[in-house]
Copies of this chain bind each other. A is one copy, B any other.
Amino acid sequence: MLTIGMRVNLDKKKAETVLLQLIQLLQEKGVQVYIEPSVAEKTGLHELALPIERYPEFVKIVFVIGGDGTLLGIARQIAPFQIPILGFNVGNLGFLSEAEPHDLSDAVDRVISQDYYIEKRMMLQAELVRDGRVIEQGIALNDVGIAKGSFSRMINCTVSMDGNCIGHYSGDGVILSTPTGSTAYSLSCGGPIAWPELKTILFTPICPHTLTSRPMVLPAASILEVQVSAIHQEMGLTIDGQLGYPLQSEDIIRIQTSTFETHLIKWQERSFFQVVRKKLYGEIVDDKMGG
C-alpha cells in the first residue's frame, strides 16, 4: 500500500483546504496518509499523526503543501532518506512545486499510477571550520550564503577550489549555489540560470568591490573553501536563506556536493523553461502545453 507523508505550511492561505482535499482524495484511493503531529492536533485528525523522524520506516512519498520555501525546509530534513517529494504550490508560481491546487485529483491519480518522473537535484554540504575544527554543518538544496550585516560595508572572502586560490573578494559576501538555487538569490546577485539537473556549483560574489569579479561555474566534484575576514563581527552564514550562523573573522566555510540528493516528482510535460518564462519573463504560458 502506498503511504504518503504530508507536510503543510498553514501560514499560506488555501493550504489547509488543499490538505483536507488531498487527504480525502488519497484515502478514497486507499492510500495511507500521515500528517505532522502539530497539524493533526490542529485539524483534529489525531490518528494520522506521524513525526518526520519516522518517515524512513513508513513513508514512500512526501507531499509538501506550501511554497518553494516550505519545500526547501522539508528537502533538507529528509535528504538522507531519498524519499521523493511532490510540491503543491499554494502561493506564487514556484520552481520546485509541480502540482497546482486546481488539479488535485489529477495529481493524485498520477502519483498512484506512477505517471511521473523523478528529478534528482544535487545538494551542497557546508561545514563551518573555526580554529581547525568543524563546529557546524548543514546541507542546502538552494545555496550557501556568506554575507555581511546591514551596518557593515564590506567583508573579505578568500575563495579556493581544491586548494587553489580562485581569488579574493571584497564586498557584501559570496554565494555558492546548486543549479536548483540558480533561480533564487544567486540570480539576484548576477549569477546565471543553470539547468536544474546539471551537476555543477555556481559561485557568485555579492556586490563585489572589484568590478572584474564575476560569477563562476565550477565542477560539482570540487571542494570549495571560503575564508572570511573583516574588521567587524557582523557576518553570517546562511543555508537556503533559512538557517543562519554567525561568523567570526578567519572562519572557513567548506562547501562540497552532498552525498544526498533531493528527489522531486515532476510531470513529463512541463518544462523548466516554462517556469522560467512565466516567472522571470512574465510571459503567459499555457500550463498544459509542452514547452
Q: Chain B contacts of A83 at CB under 8 A?
A: none
Cβ contacts under 8 Å, A171 to chain B: 188
Interface string of A186-213 (1 = CB under 8 A from B): 0111111111011010100011111111
> Which residues of A210-268 have CB atoms within 8 Å of chain B's CB atoms?
210-219, 222, 234-236, 238, 241, 244
In the complex, what residues of B have CB within 8 A of residue A235's CB? 150
On chain B, the residues within 8 Å of A198 by CB distance are 200, 217-219
Is A18 at the interface (CB under 8 A from chain B)? no
Query: A193 contacts B215, CB within 8 Å?
Result: yes
Residue pair A163, B291 in contact (C-beta under 8 Å): yes
Max count, chain B CB within 10 A of own CB: residue among A153, A182, A187, A189: A153
Interface pair A234/B280, CB less than 8 Å apart: no
Q: Are B212 and A153 in contact (CB under 8 A)?
A: no
State whether A244 touches B207 (Cβ < 8 A). Answer: no
CB distance from A78 to the nearest CB of B (A): 22
Q: Pick from B150, B151, B167, B219: contact of A276, CB below 8 A.
A: B167
Contact A191 B188 (CB under 8 A): no
Is there a chain B Cβ closer than 8 Å to A179's Cβ?
Answer: yes
Q: Within the complex, what minimum Cβ distance (angstroms) separates A47 from chain B?
A: 34
Task: Please measure, in the bound complex, the distance between the C-alpha atom of A140 and the C-alpha atom of B148, giving whole angstroms.
Answer: 21
Please measure, in the bound complex, the distance between the C-alpha atom of A236 and the C-alpha atom of B150, giving whole angstroms.
Answer: 5
CB contact under 8 A between A282 and B282, given known A166-B273, A188-B208, A207-B189: yes
Knowing that A161-B195, A195-B218, A200-B217 are A-B contacts, what are 15 other residue pairs whose CB atoms are under 8 Å apart, sorted by A's residue number?
A148-B150, A149-B149, A149-B150, A150-B235, A160-B291, A166-B276, A167-B277, A172-B206, A187-B214, A188-B208, A189-B207, A190-B190, A193-B217, A210-B281, A211-B214
List residues of A whose CB falls within 8 A of some B CB.
147-151, 153, 160-161, 163-167, 171-173, 179, 182, 185, 187-195, 197-198, 200, 202, 206-219, 222, 234-236, 238, 241, 244, 271, 273, 276-277, 280-283, 290-291
